[in-house]
Amino acid sequence: MTTLRYTTAGESHGPALTGILEGLPAGLALSKERIDAELIRRQGGYGRGGRMQIETDLVDITAGMRAGRTLGSPLALVLKNADATIEELPVPGNARPGHADLAGSQKFGELDTRAVLERASARETAIRVALAGAARQLIEHFGVRVFGHVVELGGERFAPSDVRGDAQGDGLGDAELPPVDEREQRRDASQFYSLFPERDEAFIAKVDAAKEAGDTLGGVFEVRAWGLPPGLGSHASGPERLTSRLAGALMSIPAMKGVEFGLGFEAARRPGSRVHDAIDPAEASDSADGSDPVASPNGRFRRRTNNAGGLEGGMTTGEELVVRVAMKPISTLRRGLDTVDFETNETVRATYQRSDVTAAPAASVVGEALVAFELARAWREKFGGDAMSQVTAAVEFYREQLRSL
C-alpha cells in the first residue's frame, strides 16, 4: 500500500487512545523518542489546565516494527490514559455552550452528553500527534522540515510592535523570521511556543488576567514547511488538491475556526499585481553548494516572492509552505455561560469541568503534526514504493528530472 492513512479510537477518559497507521514503506528507521518528543510538546505551553499534570504521554508501538524499522504492515500505537475514569464520571445535567454537547445529544436522540463529549474532546488529538510523529519521519528522512509556532494570542501579536508582517498577511514576513536553524531554539525558549520568548512575561500576565476573570483566550498559529519539491498534490481533482487537504486536516482539530495560506485573506484586498508571485531563473545561491543554479532543489526556476504560501493549483511550488490557523477561545469557562437544565428547562449556568485558559501553544503542535502528515501522504502518492530503497530511487529520479526540465 502506498496510500498513507490512519484511524483512531478512544475516549478522553477511557483506558487508552489507539491509532492505526497504514502505508509507511518497509525499512524506514522509526524513532519512538521522536514521537514522544512531540507528545511532550503537546502537553506544554502556558495556560494549560490540570489534565496535563495528570497525564504522561508516552506511546507504545505494538505492531508494524521490527529492530527499529517499519515492516510495511500497519503500525499500531497505544497511548494510555492515566485519568481513565469514564465509568465513574457523572452525566452533566446541561449542555455547555461552544461544545458538541447539545448538537451531539440531539443527533443521538438522548440527553447523555457524556456519550458525546468523551470523543469530541481535544484529548483525541494526542494520538493523532503520535501517528503524525511516525509519518513525518518519512519526509524528514528526505530533508523536509515542518515547524509550527504561535503568532497571536488573545488578539495581540507576539511580534514586537516594530515588526510588521506585510509580506505574509498577519504572519511574519520571511525577512523577519530568524534563520531556520534558530527557529526551534527560540520557540523552545518560549512558554507560548512563539518566536519571541522575550515577550512571554507580558503574555503570562494576559493569561493570568483571563484566568482570574474566569475567561479563556484563543490565538493564531502558523505552520511552515521547507525542503519540499514542487509538484506534491494534484490539480486534477478538487478533493485531491493539497490546499483542500491541508485545510481540511487543520479544521478537523477541535476549536479551529479559520485557515489561510500565504497572504490569505489579505490577498482579497490587493490587486493581482501585488499578489501573484513572479517567476525567476534559479540563482547560484539556491543550489546546495552555491555554485550551480541547476542544482537548486526546485530545478531551474524559483518564485520572486511567496505570497501564495508555497501552493499553486493545489500543488507545492517548491517554496516554503506557509499556513496559518485561527483557534477560538476554549469553550469551557470557569465563570460559565447560560444554558438550559435538561430536567427543568430553566436557565442555569453551564457545568464547569477542568479546562485550559488557553491551548493555542498545544494547538500549534497538533497543527504542525497534521500538516506533516498530509505532506507525508502526498509524498507517498507522488513517489510510491513498497520499501525505502524504492522510495529513495523515485525521489532521486524526480530531482534529476527537475534539474533537467
Whether residue 313 is annotated as binding a ligand: the answer is yes
Q: How many CB atoms lie within 10 A of CB 165?
A: 19
Distances (CA, A) of 288 to 231, 282, 284, 300: 20, 12, 9, 13
> What is the CATH code of the structural domain delimited by 5-404?
3.60.150.10
pLDDT for 262 equals 96
CA count, 13 A, side-chain hemisphere, 301: 12
293 is written with which cell numbers?
543554479
pLDDT for 50 equals 66
Whether residue 42 is annotated as binding a ligand: the answer is yes
Residue 366: DSSP 8-state = H
Taking Cα atoms as reference points, which of 197, 150, 200, 201 lies closest to residue 171? 150
Whether residue 115 is annotated as binding a ligand: the answer is no
Quote the CA–CA distance of 151 and 222 in Å, as a whole number. 7
Whether residue 121 is annotated as binding a ligand: the answer is yes
Task: Tell me if residue 157 falls in helix, strand or coil.
Answer: strand
Is the CB of residue 322 less than 8 Å from the CB of residue 243?
A: no
Full strand arrangement of the beta sheet holding 60-63: 5-9, 16-22, 75-80, 60-63
Quote the CA–CA distance of 125 and 98 in Å, as a whole number. 18
325 is written with which cell numbers?
490557523
Whether residue 296 is annotated as binding a ligand: the answer is no
| Long-range contacts (CB closer than 8 Å, 24 or more residues apart) made by 157-161 | 158/192, 158/194, 158/195, 158/196, 158/199, 158/203, 159/195, 159/196, 160/196, 160/199
| Concatenated DSSP letters of 291-340 | S-GGGSTTTTEEES--TTTTEETTEE-SSPEEEEEEEPPPS--SS--EEE
Whether residue 354 is annotated as binding a ligand: the answer is yes
pLDDT for 157 equals 94
Residue 369: DSSP 8-state = H
Q: At what angle do helices 125-141 and 32-43 cross, to 10 degrees?
A: 130
Quote the CA–CA distance of 13 and 51 in Å, as a whole number. 10
Taking Cα atoms as reference points, which of 249, 238, 222 lies closest to residue 320? 222
Q: Could you tell me if residue 55 is left (phi over 0), alpha (psi between -120 and 50 degrees) or otherwise beta?
A: beta
The pLDDT profile of the chain, 405 residues, written as one tens digit per residue, is 678 999 999 999 999 999 999 999 999 999 999 999 999 999 999 988 766 667 789 999 999 999 999 999 999 999 999 888 888 898 899 998 989 999 999 999 998 999 999 999 999 999 999 999 999 999 999 999 999 999 999 999 998 865 544 444 455 566 578 888 899 999 999 999 999 999 999 999 999 999 999 999 999 999 999 999 999 999 999 999 999 999 999 999 999 999 999 999 999 999 999 999 999 998 755 554 554 544 566 778 899 999 999 999 999 999 999 999 999 998 888 888 899 999 899 999 888 777 789 999 999 999 999 999 999 999 999 999 999 999 999 999 999 999 888
pTM over 0.85, yes/no:
yes
Name the pairing type of β-strands 311-312 and 338-340.
Answer: unpaired
pLDDT for 1 equals 66
Whether residue 382 is annotated as binding a ligand: the answer is no
Quote the CA–CA distance of 128 and 7 in Å, as a whole number. 9
Whether residue 331 is annotated as binding a ligand: the answer is yes
Taking Cα atoms as reference points, which of 133, 28, 29 lies closest to residue 79? 133
- Using the structure block, give the residue that is written with the C-alpha cell 484566568: 211
Q: 20: buried, middle or exposed (CB in 10 Å: 19+, 13-18, 0-12)?
A: middle
Distances (CA, A) of 233 to 238, 305, 306, 311, 394: 11, 21, 18, 9, 16
